[in-house]
Amino acid sequence: MADLRRSSEDGSNAGLSSSTLSVWAGEGGSLVQGATQVPVVYSAAYGYPDVDAWLDVALGRKPGHIYSRNTNPTVHAFEEKVRILEGAEAATSFATGMAAVSNTLFALLGQGDRVVSVKDTYGGTNRLFLDFLPRVGVEVELCDTSDHEQIEAAIAQGCRLVYLETPTNPTLKVMDIARLAAAAHEAGAIVVADNTLATPINQNPLALGADLVLHSATKFLGGHADALGGVVCGGPELVARVFHYREITGATLDPMAAYLLIRGMKTLALRIGRQNESALRIAPWLQEQPAVAAVYYPGLATHLHHDVAARQMRGYGGVLGFTLEGGFEAVKRVLPRLRLAHRAANLGAVETVAGPPATTSHVECTAEEREAMGIPEGLIRYSVGIEDAGDLIADLRPQAGVRGRLSGMPGKYILAVVSCSTQGEGPRARAATGH
């Protein structure tokens, strides 16, 4: 059994900012022989001087490690850092974000149970709801993400678990966590919230009523696109159930990946602050462009649930979406012309990353399924990096390339096929409203 108790350093965390906690939290018990950094512990098993000491750890009476499929010192330090940032009592980690999602759902749901969620969760999560959970006898109801009354009505019919994702990927819809958690608890349901896009810097679902919060740590937590991982935080009893499922099924986080995630998290608050600011600058600029049909970003006043986002988030995040006039063919013309964006199936990195749902978040789905979810084929998911926001806008603006600003960069006019507006034009009232 993993040591899921609060670490001894917690008493000193009171009053510390998330920026400070990102650097220091969770590491105290892992530093050895004067090291200032958490070591990578590559050991399959851990030895004990006698059977009694071994048994105490094996039965959870004392902290320690038995076998690295179950727990590992480096992995534990990563779990502690996320746990403290989310204000949770316990945490356990996984090899990937989808392992965190799937292990949580399968650990908590069984034959005859009912789960309520929404239609446009991340594509892999959606496939669990449509394909895998029904195979084991779990009833799934997926509601319109923007219709809180419909979600509440579905919850009131009775369910074992309510699964939320906010903001959603890639249309950036926002769900009122406190409102839906209250409805779920009234029905006796467990509330799980995917906080990947928001991060603990911008939003803490547990404080809003969720029972469990999960992350694809591959994304913003790690922030450097060089390590896969997932994590779930919450109360000890629920986390212990998920941990037990994970330790038996074996979706264990690798120690080197845990180390890379820890290292990345030290700059989490700095990165998120920059990405918040840049996205909030780029989104209204995109609204002005005549070839941009809609912009999806909760920081825009025109967003359907901007009021909810303003209430439950401290920042609006570094991911936005925009659709192009001309649909998917326009996407295929525009993306290769961007110089300051990787065309890749990832988000949350220090570099800007862009791509359509057809090759990223919902590659597992057909065009018809994406349409049913309200995900346009002409949408570009744009994950803002830590580059200068002006350079990113210049990369998107037809009149001003990056000539003379970035050494060695060709000064091409990148998005002539997208926009022919001028800087002086006023905002256009065409922002997406969450649909």
Catalytic residues: 69, 122, 194, 219
- The residue type of 27 is E
Task: Give the integer Cα–Cα distance in Å for 308 and 167.
Answer: 11
Task: Give the integer Cα–Cα distance in Å for 36 and 292.
Answer: 49
Give me the residues paired with residue 163 across strands: 192
Where would I find the beta strands (DSSP E) of 45-179?
90-94, 114-118, 139-143, 161-165
- The residue type of 71 is T
Q: Which residues contact 363 (CB under 8 A, 6 or more apart)?
A: 123, 345, 357
Classified as helix, coil or strand, 232 is: strand
Task: Give the integer Cα–Cα distance in Å for 268 and 221.
Answer: 6
Q: Specify the length of the chain in residues.
A: 435
Pairing state between β 319-324 and 379-383: antiparallel
Distinct helix (H) and strand (E) counts, the chain: 15, 12
Where would I find the beta strands (DSSP E) of 79-138?
90-94, 114-118
Q: Is 157 exposed, middle or buried (0-12, 13-18, 19+ CB in 10 A)?
A: exposed
- The residue type of 291 is A
Q: In Å, how far are 96, 116, 170, 189 from 162, measured between CA atoms?
A: 22, 5, 20, 7
Q: Which residues contact 309 (CB under 8 A, 6 or more apart)?
A: 167, 174, 298, 299, 303, 316
